[in-house]
Amino acid sequence: MTTDATQYSAAVPAEAATAANAPPPQSSDAGAADYQPLDPRTLRLWQLSDAIGWGVVLFIGLVVAVGVYLGAPAALPWMAGGWLLLALLGAWTIFSYHPRNYRAWGYRLDDRVLLIKRGVWFRSVKLLPLPRLQHVDIKRGPLQRKFGLATLTLHTAGTHAASIELPGLDADEAVRLRDRLVAAGGDDGV
């Protein structure tokens, strides 16, 4: 019996034996290159939108800080420190978080499914089987129109989250993608 085992081990090449004992390869983000990124103008849109929002928050914070200072001048260091922390958080969001968030988004469409990946800290991949597609909307706010962008909203059948949004598409690409999704969509009469 040892002769058969010896013959078998001699017949198996050395690299096959080491490959069989090797740990399985680690998957990083398999297929990440297959995903289409959002339009590059999306990053500037997100940054501008947040700059406007943070500007309003900081202005209100400044008004409150001045009001508190007039009533209690000893609170000035606390109010200035709080306002400065808000300003730093806004700057971090605009210049650090949004570029990372932009790089995390992507989508891929084949004949049967649309995949949308997103998330900086909590990553998710949503799969939309095209037969479950009910209808598709295109949304464009004033800033999106200025940047030439659109958000595609996909409504699905029978799920707890009945709509999926894909932001940051070129307006013409959103129309082409909408038409392609509608043409490939379900015919199951749901």
Same-domain status, 58 and 89: yes
- What integer pLDDT is reported at residue 47 of this predicted model? 97
Quote the number of domains for the chain.
2
Q: Which of 83, 104, 125 is the last residue of a domain?
A: 104
Q: Which of 104, 119, 139 is the last residue of a domain?
A: 104
pLDDT tens by residue, 1-21: 444 444 434 444 444 443 444
Site of tokens 């940051």: 168
Direct distance between the N- and C-terminal alpha carbons of the chain, in angstroms, rounded to an integer: 64
- Select the more confidently predicted residue: 2 or 152: 152
Domain hosting residue 62, numbered range: 37-104
pLDDT tens by residue, 71-84: 999 989 999 999 99
Residue 148: closest CA among 138, 161, 133: 138
Residue 164: closest CA among 116, 123, 105: 116
pLDDT tens by residue, 98-149: 999 999 999 999 888 999 999 999 999 988 888 888 889 999 999 999 999 9
Q: Does the pLDDT at position 150 exceed 60? A: yes
Any domain includes 13 = no
Where does the pLDDT of residue 160 fall: very low under 50, low under 70, confident under 90, or very high at 90 and above?
Answer: low
